[in-house]
Amino acid sequence: MRRFLPLLLLLALCAPTRANNVDANSFQIRSHFVGEPVTRFLRLESDAREELEICRERAMGSVCTHLINAVDRGSRAEISTRAPMDFLDPDAPRDSVDFVLDGGKVVKMTMLVSDVADVLKQFGQPSSKSTAPARNKAGQKWEDHISVWSAADVYVSLYEDGNPSLEDKRPTLTIETPAEHARDVAAAAPRPTPRP
């Protein structure tokens, strides 16, 4: 056994980890993945096709303009679609998935998840986990948890908000391109106050 120990250690060190060996296609929501062409997205999402058709017929407001430009010209737009109805439980709530389209592709998908175990089963163990203390104006404290799966062409996060006053405590799953994640981080960063 001692003879094989160095060989086993070498194999363990050389074996690729899941986070390094995956691409965007490995992380899907309802058969969608980041980098997916808008044409494929529309083929799979009847809600989005219907909304686009209505926008083309009536051209109502800036939301329609953004959606048409995203499909025709590769501009940026956000669109939400509802999950298919559960025929075994027609009274069950139908959650939505929020998509961001940019450059003719899906660059971000966000949805609430009911079962973290299902996410772990589908995606494997995260690359990293972190906890952040939080509190509200009333002084109530809690911890938020974030799990991250990161690869060269995809950034996935599962955010669990521990705020006890939230009615819907389901975690938020976000799958996005690294560039989209960087954009989100830059948008959330505090801006310096201009000096008088």
Determine, yes or no, domain membership for 86.
Answer: no
Q: Quote the domain boundaries for residue 121.
A: 22-80+95-188
Q: Closest Cα partner for 79 from 95, 100, 65?
A: 100
Helix residue ranges, H only, 88-131: 116-123
pTM over 0.75, yes/no: yes
Domains contained in the chain, number:
1
Whether the CB-CB separation of 67 and 51 falls below 8 Å is answered with yes
Is the pLDDT at 5 greater than 60? The verdict is no
Helix residue ranges, H only, the chain: 5-14, 38-44, 46-58, 61-73, 116-123, 178-188
Determine, yes or no, domain membership for 4.
Answer: no
Instruction: In whole angstroms, give the CA distance from residue 91 to residue 9.
Output: 53
Whether the CB-CB separation of 170 and 162 falls below 8 Å is answered with no
Which one has a higher pLDDT value, 72 or 151?
A: 72
Determine, yes or no, domain membership for 161.
Answer: yes
Determine, yes or no, domain membership for 12.
Answer: no
Determine, yes or no, domain membership for 123.
Answer: yes
Q: Closest Cα partner for 92 from 84, 100, 103?
A: 84
For residue range 159-192, what is the model confidence (pLDDT) as tens digits? 999 999 888 889 999 999 999 999 998 888 887 7
Instruction: In whole angstroms, give the CA distance from residue 43 to residue 66.
Output: 19
Determine, yes or no, domain membership for 156.
Answer: yes
